[in-house]
Structure 1
Amino acid sequence: MTAALRTIITPTAILRLVLGWGVFIALQFMGSLLAPPVPMLLLVTALVVIIAVILICAFGVVTEAEHLASRLGDPYGSLVLTISICLIEVILIAAVLLGPGDHATIARDSVMAVSMIILGAVIGLCLLISGLRHGALTHNRTGVSNYLVMIVVFAALAFAVPALIGTPDGAYETWQEIPIIVITVGAYVFFLYRQMGPQAHEFTEVALAGTAPAGASSTTGTTRSSPAEAADRAESESESEPQGIVEILSTHRTEIVARLALLVATVLPIVLLSHDMATLLDDGLSRLGAPVALSGVVIAMIVFLPETLTSIRAAWNGEIQRVSNLCHGAQVSTVGLTIPTVLVIGMLTDQQIVLAESPINLALLAITLLVSTIAFAGRRVTAVHGVALLIVFAVFGLALFA
């Protein structure tokens, strides 16, 4: 092993892999013991162990994601973590659909839970943290606008349109599924091409509005720019700095490949354990009389824990554009990958895929998107915007028990 690889594949990284995969394999051998109804002591013990291991692995994922982001720069660094987690989640949803039983609403429930968690809870918490620590922060408005328009369109195609033009159950007719698949995949691929190519500069961090250049003295006679002028200048300056991604990949290929492989290898047990945990959660929540939908929300939180931790750390450091790249990017990827995949599986297996959401969930998602659009349409985001998003997510939580 070369010196470079030794700095990446450390004893701590190996320990995380052993713990994550070891616990997952152990759970497979304990299948009969963990079949419902599980004795309460064993149920609580298993949940504590799973959550502890997931947390340990999550911190490893955050470490690798930050190294990659530092090496690649945004938006490429954020895309690595976002697409890795979303692809794994899509694969697992597909595996459930291809398994025995009726899972007509699995994609709708999973994507809806993820949407409210990302757009409401995670972004709301990040805006609150960054606002309290750094004050109002400037983001790259063009980049965030690109995310939000794609999220609005994808959310409408996924949750609202099927109720209006589909079957009474809220599924697309077979002849409607093909154009929806083509439209969604085409739009997602085009978005990724623009984000990684001609419009990459629109997803980079900009300076804080009103920040003076480094080394500038407050006693000089230089005319100070207004916050609005400073924000515009910061955005225009970010456009003039090329990313040089090809050169970075060529120069640091070994490090990037090794860190990417380690990231995926550490993410996989998190997602696998979270889905193994579903049965235990359903068993425990049913005894407590809690709604079954609460289990899906908890699992979605666990699956996106690495991305949540990375986003919170970025917010703590005042990197508000990176928060958008991680969270809004995850939302675009989740819907853009999941909906076409489940529709294709439904067509091939002759399963009905119910996508239309309930009126209350549609209303809360619409309010979340409206608040997000208003908040990020301004030059700067604040802690108040974060509180507003957290309130909507709290109402979503209350609606689960209605």
Structure 2
Amino acid sequence: MTARLRPLVTQWTYAVPVLAVILLVFTWGRDLSGAVVVLVTLVLAGSVLAAVHHAEVVAHRVGEPFGSLVLAVAVTIIEVALIVTLMLDGGDKSATLARDTVFAAVMITCNGIVGICLLAASLRHGTAVFNSEGTGAALATVATLATLSLVLPTFTTSKPGPEFSGIQLTFAAVSSLVLYGLFVATQTVRHRDYFLPITRDGEVIDADDHADAPTFRTAMISLSMLGLALIGVVGLAKGVSPTIESGVEGAGLPQAVVGVIIALLVLLPETIAALRAARRDRVQTSLNLALGSAMASIGLTIPAVALATIWLSGPLVLGLGATHMVLLALTVVVSSLTVVHGRATPLQGGVHLILFAAYLVLAMNP
């Protein structure tokens, strides 16, 4: 790609957030036709990609440990905004939306993204190589967060149904924040080398050695574009939420499919970035993206949604059903066996992808 064409290709990340805000002004509070819904959906997806791009620019500028928080917080704002937006309009039927979206994020990241990255890297390079110490720590944190937030509510007795009481929800929210904060500190400060890519001889590759930080001006522009993109995502999601729910209902699909759609949309940028890293034999980077996204989805979304229950009148159902608990348990076991040796073949990638396919089938046909 020539130097003249490259700026033209990257300018869309600046144009889309502005277009999203303009489109929001003209569509807010109005009934949308089919053609407009399609346009809004396309701009919404573009705004998600643009938001993550600008978050990465800002993160690169401020450096670690604060840089890694920028992308996670930005993506989580998008996820929470979409969840709360649909919960506000959905009433009791959207009581499980937060649970479905968070669990979908866990299955997409731990099986979908991990599986396709391991498969791509091992097919291209023979085996996928990564640091088992860092990846194991990330997996343990994800498993703990998922169990505390999504499994325990099914078995508590303070409230009827798979719901937390107020005290239990507060504990889950605070615990999620503490665990996520501890992991970020471990990943970016105390044991940063555990989460850097490694060579096939086990030597650490510092990914920042050859990367020049953007200028202050570039970072400030990206910060402004990030704000516009997030405003566009929240507002446009509000506009298309009735169409999403009616489309799922019209297709005869369970309400949980709405959560799958939200998670797939939010995690699209991480999926693309992780796959690119895997093809470059930077599997540790791919696993950092996948497990880090799962961790942020639980560790930041659950506290935010718990806070939102102050003004949300409907119930908040977090407990998983028996089928999903089996899938979660199998995912944790398989992931542990994948991580323990620090190497993976196409078989491990295929096993994770089959688990992800099983989740999709059961989500549409429980």
| TM-score bracket for this pair, using the shorter chain length | 0.7 to 0.9
Is residue 2:152 matched to residue 1:161? Answer: yes
Q: Deviations over 1:345-387 (max 9, x none)?
A: 4367675422111100111122122222211222212332221
Aligned residues: percent identity? 28
State the one-letter code of the partner of 1:374.
L
Residue 316 of structure 1: which of 265, 279, 287 is its match? Answer: 279
Q: Deviations over 1:71-96 (max 9, x none)?
A: 67888765532331013322443455
Mapped partners of 1:68, 1:119: distance in 2: 26
Residue 82 of structure 1: which of 72, 83, 87 is its match? Answer: 72
Moved more, 166-175 or 263-272: 263-272
Q: Residue in 1 aligned with 2:297?
A: 334
State the one-letter code of the partner of 1:52.
L
Residue 97 of structure 2: which of 106, 112, 120 is its match? Answer: 106
Q: Residue in 2 aligned with 1:286?
A: 249
Q: Residue in 1 aligned with 2:4?
A: none
Q: Residue in 2 aligned with 1:396?
A: 359
Residue 256 of structure 1: which of 206, 209, 219 is its match? Answer: 219
Q: Is residue 78–residue 325 contact of structure 1 (8 Å, CA) maintained in 2?
A: no
Q: Residue in 2 aligned with 1:382?
A: 345
Residue 126 of structure 2: which of 122, 135, 142 is its match? Answer: 135
Q: Is residue 128–residue 283 contact of structure 2 (8 Å, CA) maintained in 1?
A: yes
Change (3 A) 1:66 1:91: closer
Q: Is residue 145–residue 298 contact of structure 2 (8 Å, CA) maintained in 1?
A: yes
CA radius of gyration, larger in: 1
State the one-letter code of the partner of 1:26.
F
Matches within 5 A, 1:3-402: 11-28=11-28, 31-32=30-31, 34=32, 42-43=33-34, 45-57=35-47, 60-61=50-51, 64=54, 79-94=69-84, 101-102=91-92, 103-166=94-157, 167-207=159-199, 209=200, 230-231=201-202, 234-235=203-204, 252-266=215-229, 268-270=231-233, 272-274=235-237, 276-346=239-309, 352-400=315-363, 401-402=365-366
Moved more, 383-392 or 97-106: 97-106
State the one-letter code of the partner of 1:357.
L
Mapped partners of 2:321, 2:285: distance in 1: 32
Mapped partners of 1:386, 1:205: distance in 2: 18
Q: Is residue 74–residue 203 contact of structure 1 (8 Å, CA) maintained in 2?
A: no
Flag structure 2 segments of 5+ consecutive residues without an equivalent: 1-6
**TM-score normalised by structure 2 residue count:** 0.83
Mapped partners of 1:253, 1:14: distance in 2: 17
Moved more, 121-130 or 328-337: 121-130
Change (3 A) 1:162 1:357: same
What is the CA-CA distance between 1:147 and the residue it aligns to?
A: 0.9
SS where residue 296 of structure 2 aligns? helix
Flag structure 1 segments of 5+ consecutive residues without an equivalent: 1-6, 35-41, 210-229
Once superposed, what is the RMSD of the aligned Cα atoms? 3.3
Mapped partners of 1:100, 1:287: distance in 2: 15
State the one-letter code of the partner of 2:274.
S
Q: Deviations over 1:2-30 (max 9, x none)?
A: xxxxx79975443222333333333325x
Q: Is residue 108–residue 356 contact of structure 2 (8 Å, CA) maintained in 1?
A: yes
State the one-letter code of the partner of 1:175.
I
Mapped partners of 1:62, 1:99: distance in 2: 26
Q: Is residue 52–residue 75 contact of structure 2 (8 Å, CA) maintained in 1?
A: no
